[in-house]
Structure 1
Amino acid sequence: MSCKCIYKCKETLRHENRVAVFDKYWKLGNLQAQRNFLAGLITKVDKKRMVVNAKVNRKFNIHYFLPKIDSSRVQVCKSTFLATLDESGRKIRTIIRKQHSGLCSPDKRASNAYRIPADILQKIHTHIQSFPCVPSHYTRANSKRQYLEPHLSVKKMYVDFTESLPEDVKPCSLQTYRNIFNTEYNLGFHHPKKDRCDFCAKYEEYPVGTEKDNMTPEYDAHIIAKNQARLKMLEDSNKSKNDRMFKCFTFDLQQVLLAPYFNVKSFYYKRKLCVYNLTIYDHGAGKGYCYVWDETIAQRGSCDIASCIVQHINTQCSEAEHISLYSDGCGGQNKNRFVFTALLHTMRKFSNLKSIEITFLVSGHTQMVCDSVHGTIEMAKKGQKIYVPQDWLQVIEKAKVHGIRYDAVPMNQKSFIDFKAVNEKLFDMKLNSKTVDGNKVKWSKIVSCRFEKGSENQLKIKYGYDDEEYAIVKLGKTATDVEIAQELPQLYSSILPISLAKKKDLITISNAVTFPDTARQYYQNLEVNRGKSRGSDESFPVRHDQSAHDADADEDQEMNLESPPGLEDTYSKSGEKKEQPSKKRNSKREKVKRIIKL
């Protein structure tokens, strides 16, 4: 500090003393307290003499003081005073103007608004997060919005929140709760139209009248069935959390994933490899398991789905006695004889299993925790670069940031079992089967199917969730324990080929982007289907200007691929289709030749 004033501030005031005053002043943390502190260190004094014709007509002087460590005060100059407290002269003038009887009058400007205590804010967040929510089933790829139960509202949630607080805790207002809900969460109560049940939407859109009245009984039964199914699933879910011998699983096949996966516009019209993910969620453990394979390994039919379920039971249910499964009622994948065959065979195979039951949710109301798993995966894939199908395993395992992460299980061809052959050999479960009462089994109407130890040759089914008794179906065959223990036939004997057009697109993509050598080699080694198409998935539509067969001979030479037999006769090198004489025209020519000879 350089000071040459008459008060000799440098000598009378040590540096440590100034630091202590500075700290004390700024620790007050309140404008009014700081003003009062300064008001106690300054004194307004009248001028001793008046100067005639002065440029500045000052009427008083200000004396500045700073406290010392021994509680005494020492007078200092203005520069030392302001430098010690790191303040400006303007603030001193304001204090002089407001000063009355040694204190500064309160600031009349509006103070900070009322702040909600931090513990109340935390309780609000905890309460909102306690409600289960699911993403949109069909729009989750384009929206992060999640949905609560439709019967809820912000007001109902607020009432529940206030009731959960102790009596001595003052709750926040409804407006505060609503503001936090609207600004800090992306939640809604009404699902998008794409997720709505077709039957419910049709009923709600009908105008009031005779037609709607005629639909009302069917609609009421539909809603009752929906509530019964969800209540049953909730009860089994809670039971699995308290009983380790009881397992509750929900399973669902995710929408087709693609490999390679890049956000490149020029690749939108290129065919890609289809990757499948069957998610099985363990409600007791609170964990999701994703069984992943691609179209060269297996397809996504009933035997493929059943094989994943069996593998999950084999690895995760070593001690379970009862298993309860839930899924949608898709007949081609879940609700069919081959899935039932797989469950019956698994129940017979494991001595610890006493029963397995599978329940199908009402169509249009099949929301499950699996949907949340799929939504998390689709959010995690944004910005990722997927070169080969195996890369999806890493994306799935890292998709969930908080809580228990998902297990990504790669499926190989040996894991897929031909349960159609198993059914024919061991159980003979037929489409035209009848119950013991003589009624024909309505496979599409089944809502629940149960298998029990001691009833190995029976299939127990229900057509209603509230049915008290099961309808019993006798199987055509009763497999022995020796037959059950035999090795099961595999569903596929070799790698499944893809179409020639798809392989061309895959190689084009791998050459256009900086692909790892191993990934590029993977696509070059894929088998091509030379015969009749097996109906594999085409991941994207073909462009209108692209040949239906994609059999250009020049491209085949560049890729070292041969065109399918007979294709050269149909298409010219330029890609234009040659005109082929019709069989009817040929037969007429042969007939004319025979007549001429005669």
Structure 2
Amino acid sequence: MAATMDKENNDSEPDPYDTDEGDDYVPDDHSDSSENDETEHVTPRKTKKRRKNIALWKRNEKKRLRTAGKMYEGHKGKIRAERNLRPFVHTCRYSCSKMSEAERQTFFDKFYNIPTYDLQTAFLASCIQKCEVVRRSQRAECNRRFSTKIMVSNMRVCKAFFLKTLDISNRRFTTVCEKVDRFEYCNVNQKPLVKLSYYRHTFNTEFNHQFHKPHSDTCSKCDKLNNIIKNSNNENEVSISKVSLELHQRKAQKACEMKKMDAENSKALDDTIAICFVLQQTLPTPLLTTSKVFYLRQLWTYNFCIHNLGTGEARMYTWDETVLVEVPKK
């Protein structure tokens, strides 16, 4: 009966250590390699929302290939060929024939190593100069405001040589010239290069600056006059406070201007020294974040700063309240 039960148990639960190999079986060195690889491979943590990776977008990958001058597939499925240095030999009045093939290849590689399209446009714009027209034709269509000068490695070249060297289209060159013309027009007529809306969009999306009045270390006289203006019911007192506040702020502005003037004089004149001193904020010692310290009395440390406005040198004098309790007034 016991033998029958053992046989049934053996049939229902096979031995996990039982193998088909004999006693002379020797394990292979690479038998557990797949298991080790699976244990060493760490899968990325799954999140609730899918993370956006702009660098892996197909559209951006095509843009990178296009900017680098590599072969890529257009948005309509057309294969665009790779950019190469095109052979171009001719004779003109400029220095095209003086540039060797090695210099052309260096200029070509320098252009296509630029990572973005906008920086490439700026590079092309740096090679294009606008100068006054020397001779004007009688035809109306030839009355241009500027004459285009193309410079490559401090040598003036013609437009055809420039396009063949970089393997770019005439449309790309014309677009860059239009941007250079717009830049020159804005400089001559003193107009802003970008619109206020574009500046506001960049400021609000690329930066995280905040503007507000200081919440601490404010002027006591300004606070007093502002409280009277906001809370007083006496119109005469409010009007007097407004005049006093305006006069006080003008004096403060005048003091700042005089301080700036003294700093400039101390830098220009050897016999003039301008210093600025201030008693800075008292510091609790030691500075701890424990909740019990909030209810205990701490040792206060004072810091007195003397700043040389001419040399930029600053000296700090520190002491605690056991040395001197009464601190000098500002």
Shorter-normalised TM-score: what interval?
A: 0.3 to 0.5
Give the TM-score normalised by the residue count of structure 2: 0.39
Higher helix share: 2
Between 1 and 2, higher relative CO (CA 8 Å, sep ≥ 6) is seen in 1
